[in-house]
Structure 1
């Protein structure tokens, strides 16, 4: 008899597109549909004001890409605008998969709140941007907090800031690309899971920057209920996060989802009980134990 997962055991898998759509709406649509077909539960993108987020020096720095020779050329080309978010609305509705976004500045938090979104992410990149954190806390939106480059004490501070949030997805994260296995510290996911028993608004999870699915399956066993994995459409050497992203064209993300679903089944509920599979060889003994 195949085990049926409860909602409490279900792991929500986020296909993290970042800006790997390169501002190309046809590419964006292909990525959404392939990620959905692979079994993702959420699509995620990013939004920021390029001119405000980066310094003039950073934007003027040399950067070779198909869009020009400076970092400004590159970053400006990657940003989605209202037509891109409208496409996300339409295609995700057709696929039956929700989407949300990382907001990297206060303007973006306000933008998604005004659009009627219920969930926003604050990535590790902005975990110390106090103005953004305050804006997100005031917005009333549920929040995904990625906790790369922060201490446990700072996690406590973030949770206090978001006392009004209905849901707080608290993701262990190592901000290295790729993250070495010996740095992933998946036991932190277990500590976040323990926090969730005290505060049911907390949903523990893991934002994966390591290779493949192995560490993510360990995170499931440690109590993760959200996993975030970078995806791409083919390899592009000049793109951010290319090395850690799973290719939607090769089936690598499909394999990742499969491995996570197996990990869900193998982890189970945590309640010790007689399993149907144990009835195979000595059914009389199992009946005696069950009684």
Structure 2
């Protein structure tokens, strides 16, 4: 390890994400679901500092409530660091200092961004030079959203969501996201979706999920109006059933100029697509005046990167 890295450590920034489209297939025998998702990395970031240590330790702070984030080996970033150490035979440990800005358990992949950042940070700190392909293999072992947090940009995810193909997205898309005070458990949302789909009046889900072609056409055309016509999230019905108060916020956002409003991932964070930055600012002001925390973000942005 170079003296510079020994002294200062490594800082990596990784983005949260919004699911522009999320189709969920039926439950498999193992309880998991195949999905088809269009992900977009947005300008709400997690920062991770990695510094030399004899042990694997982590400290967590941020602008969001981090009360429920584990500060031990259950933390996904610590698991990521251990994977890199095992892969290269590193005998020591690392201290990870995580500063969170993505809502916790909010459906925007904050924990996955931490893990992606830890992979990149440890690779740089230990001068492992594993390369993109190897880091993506490690990322896929940690969770479906971790490979995308590494990649960034816009991508289509299939299988469990970790089989990624870059999607061409021209221009900039502006969003207003509204976090919620309490998170939602992703397994609970999927479980509730299965319960709802057992009813005859609820769509049972596609046999082989696929991203709607209109989504990809709108991204290529840099057309938020067209994108709004095709956004969809199959998990939304379950998230709103578990947290019905979110409907009021969705209605307010859509009545106040949003092209479309949707639950982000498994929720409960809400994402509102707008036509341009000025419209996003106006919507942010309206939602803030109504008493909601509202953040203006844009995408696509790069994946996990070392910050010098």
**Fold equivalence (TM over 0.5):** no
Question: RCO higher in 1 or 2 (8 Å CA, sep ≥ 6)?
Answer: 2
Structure of higher CA gyration radius: 1
TM-score by length of 1: 0.26
**Greater helix share, structure number:** 1
The structure where strand makes up a greater share of residues is 2
